[in-house]
Chains A and B, each alone.
Chain A
Amino acid sequence: AQKITQTQPGMFVQEKEAVTLDCTYDTSDPSYGLFWYKQPSSGEMIFLIYQGSYDQQNATEGRYSLNFQKARKSANLVISASQLGDSAMYFCAMREGDQTGANNLFFGTGTRLTVIP
């Protein structure tokens, strides 16, 4: 079974509008972490936001926020006030366990976001 599922291969959003990118995860470990990365067409992976499974509040970083619904095992990324520079691939990823070790990440297949002027 897929550990991370991103069901939206592509999304469009009007400039200045908000957009939600979906991510669901599958784990039986009570301790885990969820990450979102942005990959522009140039190829580099840019870390955006992190949510720990025990965090009481949803994570926020500037225009990015994470809608964390633990019971539904979803960790959707919300981008507010979209900008043209937000056009990119977005990946959701999960680390299982709380061990301080290699902390491998499991990645979803990504969502390509296009911001329309």
Chain B
Amino acid sequence: DVKVTQSSRYLVKRTGEKVFLECVQDMDHENMFWYRQDPGLGLRLIYFSYDVKMKEKGDIPEGYSVSREKKERFSLILESASTNQTSMYLCASSFRMLSNQPQHFGDGTRLSIL
């Protein structure tokens, strides 16, 4: 089975802190994604990566950056956390060459910024 592991289920940070959310997948997927999920808004794409060291902005990249130094790991960085970044964050991965295959998700990180 595909395993996508997010480093924390729950995280509490303070305004202005630099926050790192880590995601690791074990299926050799080329594509990796970061979403945030808010009630009534569904999932919105923050950033994605289709290869090591490659990154592309999604729909809501402001206030975030990402890092992909290794194929299996995709990190989301909140440069200076703000209260409006309190949300559920979901990481996903998929094969690049199989467009009919689903994205596989981690369990999510519920991040609270105080």
**Closest chain B residue, CB of each to CB of A110:** B42
CB distance from A79 to the nearest CB of B (A): 18
Interface with B: A13-21, A67-75, A80-88, A92-100, which one?
Answer: A92-100
**A117 CB–B CB distance under 8 Å:** no
**Closest chain B residue, CB of each to CB of A33:** B100
Bin chain B's interface residue count.
20 to 34
Tell whether, in the assembled complex, residue A50 and residue B102 are in contact, meaning their CB atoms are under 8 Å apart. yes
**A101 CB–B CB distance under 8 Å:** yes
Tell whether, in the assembled complex, residue B99 and residue A98 are in contact, meaning their CB atoms are under 8 Å apart. yes
Compute how far the CA of A93 lies from the CA of B50 in the bound complex, rounded to whole angstroms. Answer: 19
Give the residues in chain B near A45, CB-CB below 8 Å.
90, 92, 105, 108
**A103 CB–B CB distance under 8 Å:** yes
Compute how far the CA of A26 lies from the CA of B28 in the bound complex, rounded to whole angstroms. Answer: 32
Compute how far the CA of A25 lies from the CA of B92 in the bound complex, rounded to whole angstroms. Answer: 22
Give the residues in chain A near B12, CB-CB below 8 Å.
none
CB distance from A98 to the nearest CB of B (A): 6
Tell whether, in the assembled complex, residue B103 and residue A105 are in contact, meaning their CB atoms are under 8 Å apart. yes
Compute how far the CA of A32 lies from the CA of B110 in the bound complex, rounded to whole angstroms. Answer: 31
Partner of B102, one of A42, A47, A98, A99: A47
Give the residues in chain A near B105, CB-CB below 8 Å.
37, 44-45
**Closest chain B residue, CB of each to CB of A105:** B103
Give the residues in chain B near A105, CB-CB below 8 Å.
43, 45, 103
Tell whether, in the assembled complex, residue A99 and residue B99 are in contact, meaning their CB atoms are under 8 Å apart. yes
A residues with CB within 8 A of B? 4, 9, 33, 35, 37, 42-45, 47, 50, 52, 91, 93, 95, 97-105, 107-110
Further pairs besides A35-B102, A45-B105, A107-B42: 7, Cβ < 8 Å: A9-B40, A47-B104, A91-B42, A91-B43, A95-B99, A103-B103, A108-B42
Q: Which 6 residue pairs spanning A and B have beta carbons closest together?
A: A45-B105, A47-B102, A107-B43, A43-B108, A109-B42, A107-B42
